[in-house]
Structure 1
């Protein structure tokens, strides 16, 4: 799919909102591009098993589909977006691999054990862990960030990674990988998403530290830091005007599509990135003023 087609899609997006996070992809107008038909798999992940949190929609869905194209069996976790999850499973299976969906709240300490147990029961192993699920709650006034909001943001965005990695690590071995979803806000900051930005900064630091810790075990840990991407989290977070203007302030003057981010995860999951660990790939429409 050419960049022109992505730009044309961007022009079709109108202001819209959703009442609850993390949002429903099936309700977006137009729905995000998650499966780039021009992207052809080449067996980079044949025989691998991947687990992707927040894999039912948005970036997680696009990554799940790209992994499937590369030959991986894929498990996705999600909160309660059952239709989105079912649609994603059907798309994964259409590429001839196995798929598993698991509804769980990843912010709970027991969720990591539950996810790994189910993945191992279904597939017998795990090779790729993608920590992708997240939440954000805009507050223009710092004093309006309640303790409950702060806890919910960190429990979902960063604590969940500790829970899942601790459960997955005993089952990972040489050549396996962990990929975390950071954000442009971890580098550029965001005056209206302070707690979210802080949680994403923590993910970046965790990625670097865990990479050093696991280097001798030959388990690589990297991250992707997306800029403004058209996912359900956007209409579930902002008002109609902000949704319509989303991404216009990037040098490319548009938001990105999930299918434009997914190849970065394929690169980090495959042997193509065998000499990379502790690094972050920025997919942000050239908005690298401070990154």
Structure 2
């Protein structure tokens, strides 16, 4: 038996799937808004096709208004999940747009505004999602804060505390509230980063938190495995999200992502499939894993 090779027009070159052009110099105040970005990110609005792999699941996604979180929210909804997104009040505009895409997929979105630095708010997010959906099966701990640092001696204490509380405290608060409500077959997915393995000195505190999330993911997977709850992480490389122009490095944006073997930054849409896989029954024997989506940069 012989097989014909795939026609070249069926293959997509990953080096040119998305733009390799330099990003324009630009800057926003944190947390950044999508509509102010140039070019606009691709969250899979026109490209992601669902196959109902998450039919009936109930998901809470932090930072679900924009960037990777929006891509995951769209994908989960198109896979049949009910989706709640958590976001800051200043991100309402982005959250409303994400909600439209969730609705377009045939799912009623739950929008939860507030500050993840507040422990009581984290508990409320879980409680409100559980109440609205009648349960909680998927917890995506995705929200993060980062700022460029000029050196260890210049890190402002208040912003350092924000990085720690959003990136580390909130995942613990959320998981602590959610785990008692989750049944066997549920899944927790954290968003770590290549920074957790190959840290940049100008993101020292952010990188610290992402390395800690790797340990958190592996330790929680060991604890919850006997209960049938899987815990995994996605480790993105350079991805074009509002976090980037709001980091404080406008002069670095023209080269952003060009240090990867694929030669470009990734788009949020290119991570959605990783989260769907880890959330689905296709990954039933996957727990404690760190899935890199880095454009070829090694962990």
What's the TM-score once normalised by structure 1's chain length? 0.95
| CA shift for structure 1 position 14 | 1.6
Contact residue 23 and residue 256 of structure 2 kept, 8 A: no
> Structure 2 unaligned runs (5+)?
1-10
Distance (whole Å) between structure 1 residues aligned to residue 259 and residue 96 of structure 2: 34
2:201 match: 191
2:250 match: 240
Contact residue 112 and residue 165 of structure 1 kept, 8 A: no
1:272 match: 282
Moved over 6 A (4+): none
Q: In the superposition, relative to structure 1, how do residues 2 and 102 fare at CA in structure 2: closer, same or farther (>3 Å)?
A: farther
Contact residue 19 and residue 264 of structure 2 kept, 8 A: no
Higher Cα radius of gyration: 2
Provide the secondary structure at the position in 2 that maps to 1:40: coil
Distance (whole Å) between structure 2 residues aligned to residue 11 and residue 112 of structure 1: 39
2:121 match: 111
Aligned residues between the structures: 288
2:60 match: 51
Provide the secondary structure at the position in 2 that maps to 1:135: coil
Distance (whole Å) between structure 2 residues aligned to residue 2 and residue 23 of structure 1: 31
Provide the secondary structure at the position in 1 that maps to 2:201: coil
> Structure 1 unaligned runs (5+)?
none
Distance (whole Å) between structure 2 residues aligned to residue 6 and residue 107 of structure 1: 39
Distance (whole Å) between structure 2 residues aligned to residue 8 and residue 124 of structure 1: 39
Aligned residue among 47, 65, 72 for 2:74: 65
Summarize deviations over 1:140-172 as a string: whole Å, max 9, x none. Answer: 311112332322111010100011011111110
Distance (whole Å) between structure 1 residues aligned to residue 250 and residue 160 of structure 2: 25
Aligned residue among 79, 82, 88 for 2:92: 82
Does structure 1 residue 125 correspond to structure 2 residue 139?
no
| CA shift for structure 1 position 186 | 0.3
2:8 match: none
| CA shift for structure 1 position 7 | 4.5
Contact residue 60 and residue 84 of structure 2 kept, 8 A: yes
Provide the secondary structure at the position in 1 that maps to 2:19: helix
Distance (whole Å) between structure 2 residues aligned to residue 101 and residue 6 of structure 1: 35
Contact residue 12 and residue 30 of structure 1 kept, 8 A: no
1:144 match: 154
2:292 match: 282
Does structure 1 residue 27 correspond to structure 2 residue 54?
no
1:162 match: 172
Contact residue 50 and residue 127 of structure 1 kept, 8 A: yes
| CA shift for structure 1 position 26 | 1.4
| CA shift for structure 1 position 52 | 0.2
Distance (whole Å) between structure 2 residues aligned to residue 278 and residue 83 of structure 1: 35
Distance (whole Å) between structure 2 residues aligned to residue 3 and residue 59 of structure 1: 22
Provide the secondary structure at the position in 2 that maps to 1:196: helix
Aligned residue among 239, 258, 262 for 1:252: 262
